[in-house]
Amino acid sequence: MSDPLQPPVAKKELKITEIHGQKIDDDYFWLRFKENQEVIDYLTAENDYTKEKTKHLDTFTDELFKEMKNRIKEDDESVPYKFKDYYYYDRNEKGKEYKIYCRKHLSLENEEEILLDINELAKDYEYYKLRSFKISPNQNLLAYSVDTTGYEKFIIHIKDLETGETYAPGIENIGWNFEWGDDSIIFYNIRDEAQRPYALKRHIIGNPSERDVVIFEEKDTERVVYLWKSKDHRFLFMNSESTLSSEIRFLDLNMPLGDFKIFFPREEKHEYSVSYKDDYFYVVTNSDNSTNFKLVRTPVENIAKDNWEEILEHNEDVRIQKTEAFKNFLVIYKREEGLPKVDIFYEKDNEENHTIEFPESVYSVWRGDNQEYSNDFVRLSYTSLITPKSTYDYHVSTKKIELKKEDEIKNYKKEEYVTKRKFITARDGTQVPISIVHHKDINTPAPTYLYGYGSYGHNEDPEFSSSILSLTERGVIYVIAHIRGGGELGRPWYEDGKMLNKKNTFYDFIDTAENLIKENLTTKNQLVIAGGSAGGLLVGACVTMRPDLFHFVIARVPFVDVINTMLDASIPLTSQEWKEWGDPKVKEFFDYMLSYSPYDQIESRDYPHILVTTGLNDPRVAFWEPAKFVAKLRVLKTDNNDLILKTNMGAGHHGASGRYEYLKETAFIYANVLDKVGLVQK
């Protein structure tokens, strides 16, 4: 019998790729075929090894899970929002994994109507994820989309709210979203074999989905198709979008069987978004070298660019992100000095235009459930590293902000924690912001958990997590590095961390780590780094560049096999990603990507402790990338540090779908963190 503490060693089966006069050897290409029983056996063996290797933490992991569960309010309810004649909300019940979606007619004092109990729908599935939930205009029908594997193959179900009947069969293979046209029409996007949402269809309620009409098909494999509705429900918008280019069409829903019109034809490096208010389209656009975007408007009846009236000019220090239109005002979401800001806007040069003030200097804010076009208030979601998620209504006319709800966190005292924002100097002189939270009684140097992402222009803003308290209350410093490649400091911040500038992302993270050590916040033997997906690429690249700098590395669903994935357009998302990372069929990009691709940069040397996670059904970062990364590390690393791979055999990119099961996954990771930094009592 084999020693259960001996790690499994994957067989080698050489595959050679020749490109640009080079040969790329891949001993583990065979791991991508999950229909091969050998692949499943290998993943199972790795899971068994992980279980055995971490069994000394089983009791502690259970304690952490109970601790995390006991912090949250298990019986909880969202703040209701009004849509026409009903108040809509969702709630959780103690002991149940999933939400229950409800409404009440006219008054919150009236009887509750349960629309969907996800617990009942999910009872026969290992994984069940609700994607979208949309009520028909007359509020008699509910359309909702679900994924039951983690592979993000969504199905639309339509429920008659008067009879309780759910029509069968559902509409399969939809993309990420859909919208009601009127009470009998649904528009939705569909996917191709590479999981790209590439076309728009129209469904007539009562007809079989086989008869649904294709309205638009995008042939360019670098583009995806998605749709949304104006807040007053007059227009349906569809964007055929690549990373650097938009092409929006619109349909007047007074004629839902009519034809879409192009708002502005696609141009390379021209991105824009559109909202509607008072017979005008409001356009956030980067045209005319407006790197951080500007706001223009144009009459619906004459949308030619010659009629675009500038409302907010381009500002090198302020990134305009999007607008939200209400009957009496416009909401503008932007970023300034690395923080999200929200403006109330009436018209150009109006003295009533103003920026909403928030109670903290470092925070996150995003739009909430704003369903009513005529509302005189804006609902916002707000949080910080020390403030639990909160729902605010900002009353525009009085400029008063009303707290509707702050999530209840048990056994938590906000005043016992300290949060701050500072800048570190990267190697090229760039000032990189970081957000920090820790207990007020911390003694430094202390164990530190450094998290980052840094891709797609995504803003990794500071948000409260009740789970992180299991680290910070034990003396861990939690740090977010807002590195280049993200969007925190505007569009140039993103541009300076992508394509042939991608290494800036990794350098910023490494320089942040070195700064934390230099400033005596932590030491190399106390430093944990973590990231997921593109953030998994981040920590994978950093650990192959500087394996001496970190004590423990957590790579969740990591994108680590950059060259092989970007060369294969049959893999979901690949073709849409070329504008983010580069196309390795072009030698300049190939050479650059090869120089940081973690899988290709593994050498025979010492590495820190490493924990890698993945999901067997992940369509975004296929399970074989983490599996190959671990298999190659196993045979080349020269240390005795832990290297473990944990595969969720019934989930995808985002892990478990149930709230308790997800907490268990988090508890497992944090138990390993606390163990590695010496904070688990033996």
Predicted confidence at residue 395, as pLDDT, reads: 97
pLDDT band at 176 (very low <50, low <70, confident <90, very high): confident
Predicted confidence at residue 5, as pLDDT, reads: 81
Residue with tokens 């429900």: 233
359/339 Cα distance (integer angstroms): 13
Predicted confidence at residue 649, as pLDDT, reads: 96
26/138 Cα distance (integer angstroms): 57
Residues 6+ away with beta carbon under 8 Å from 473: 439
Mean pLDDT of all residues in 153-176: 92
Helix (H) or strand (E) holding 627: helix 624-636
* 250 DSSP β-pair partners: 237, 261
Judge whether 370 and 380 are in contact, CB under 8 Å: no
Architecture of domain 49-69+411-676: 3-Layer(aba) Sandwich (3.40)
| CA distances for 584 relative to 351, 535, 588, 637, angstroms | 52, 20, 8, 27
Predicted confidence at residue 175, as pLDDT, reads: 83
pLDDT at residue 409 is higher than 90: yes
174/197 Cα distance (integer angstroms): 8
Question: Domain segments of the chain: what residues?
Answer: 49-69+411-676, 289-408
Which structure tokens are listed for 441? Answer: 């009684």
Predicted confidence at residue 192, as pLDDT, reads: 92
pLDDT at residue 682 is higher than 80: no
Mean pLDDT of all residues in 389-398: 97
pLDDT at residue 1 is higher than 50: no
Judge whether 466 and 72 are in contact, CB under 8 Å: yes
Q: What is the DSSP letter of 591?
A: H
pLDDT at residue 285 is higher than 90: yes
Tell me the Cα Rg of the chain: 25
Residue 255, by phi and psi: left (phi above 0), alpha (psi -120 to 50) or beta?
beta
Q: Give the pLDDT confidence of 343-374 residue by residue, as tens digits.
A: 999 988 899 999 999 989 889 999 999 999 99
pLDDT at residue 422 is higher than 90: yes
Strands 477-481 and 448-452: parallel
Q: Give the pLDDT confidence of 98-144 residue by residue, as tens digits.
A: 999 999 999 999 999 999 999 999 999 999 999 999 999 999 999 99
Mean pLDDT of all residues in 164-193: 93
Query: b/e string for 229-268 if b means 16 or more Cβ within 10 A?
Result: bbbbbbbbbbbbbbbebbbbbbbebeebeeebeebbeeee
Which structure tokens are listed for 385? Answer: 């590293």
Residue 107: exposure state from Cβ atoms within 10 A (0-12, 13-18, ≥19): exposed
Per-residue HEC secondary structure of 380-436 comes to: EEEECCCCCCEEEEEECCCCEEEEEEECCECCCCHHHEEEEEEEEECCCCCEEEEEE
Question: What is the SS3 assignment for 344?
Answer: strand
pLDDT at residue 565 is higher than 60: yes
297/283 Cα distance (integer angstroms): 6
Residues 6+ away with beta carbon under 8 Å from 542: 506, 509, 510, 513, 529, 549, 550
Mean pLDDT of all residues in 11-28: 96
pLDDT at residue 491 is higher than 80: yes
Q: What are phi and psi of 449, to 5 degrees?
A: -110, 110
Judge whether 655 and 649 are in contact, CB under 8 Å: no
Q: Measuring CA to CA, which residue among 634, 561, 648, 557 is closest to residue 598?
A: 561
pLDDT at residue 678 is higher than 60: yes
DSSP code string of 133-177: EEE-TTSSEEEEEEESSSS--EEEEEEETTT--B-SS-EEEEEEE
Taking the CA atoms of 21, 22, 23 and 24 in sequence, report the sign of the dihedral they define. negative
Mean pLDDT of all residues in 170-180: 91
pLDDT band at 681 (very low <50, low <70, confident <90, very high): confident
Residues 6+ away with beta carbon under 8 Å from 31: 10, 39, 42, 624, 627, 628, 631
Query: b/e string for 397-434 if b means 16 or more Cβ within 10 A?
Result: eeeebeeeebeebeeeeeeebbbebeebebeeebebbb
Residues belonging to the active site? 533, 618, 653
Residue 429, by phi and psi: left (phi above 0), alpha (psi -120 to 50) or beta?
left
Percent of the chain at pLDDT exceeding 70: 99
336/323 Cα distance (integer angstroms): 16
99/260 Cα distance (integer angstroms): 36
Judge whether 150 and 647 are in contact, CB under 8 Å: no
Predicted confidence at residue 573, as pLDDT, reads: 84
78/593 Cα distance (integer angstroms): 45
N-to-C CA span, the chain? 29
DSSP code string of 514-536: HHHHHTTS--GGGEEEEEETHHH
Predicted confidence at residue 545, as pLDDT, reads: 98
Q: What is the mean pLDDT of the chain?
A: 96
Q: Give the pLDDT confidence of 617-663 residue by residue, as tens digits.
A: 999 999 999 999 999 999 999 999 999 999 999 999 999 999 999 99
Predicted confidence at residue 4, as pLDDT, reads: 61
Question: What is the SS3 assignment for 543?
Answer: helix
Q: What is the DSSP letter of 664?
A: H
pLDDT band at 3 (very low <50, low <70, confident <90, very high): low
Which structure tokens are listed for 115? Answer: 């629309």
Residue 510: exposure state from Cβ atoms within 10 A (0-12, 13-18, ≥19): buried
- Long-range Cβ contact pairs of 425-429 (< 8 A, separation 24 or more): 425/511, 425/515, 426/504, 426/507, 426/508, 426/511, 427/507, 427/511, 428/504, 428/507
Judge whether 272 and 284 are in contact, CB under 8 Å: yes
Which structure tokens are listed for 83? Answer: 């849509």
452/463 Cα distance (integer angstroms): 13
Neighbours of 653 (CB within 10 A): 20
Residue with tokens 């490493």: 610
Q: Give the pLDDT confidence of 578-621 residue by residue, as tens digits.
A: 999 999 999 999 999 999 999 999 999 999 999 999 999 999 99
Neighbours of 139 (CB within 10 A): 17
| CA distances for 217 relative to 111, 138, 251, 396, 515, angstroms | 45, 30, 16, 41, 50
Q: Measuring CA to CA, which residue among 424, 492, 497 is closest to residue 455?
A: 497
Predicted confidence at residue 20, as pLDDT, reads: 97
169/172 Cα distance (integer angstroms): 9
Up-side HSE of residue 581: CA atoms within 13 Å toward CB?
A: 28
Identity (one letter) of the amino acid at 49? Y
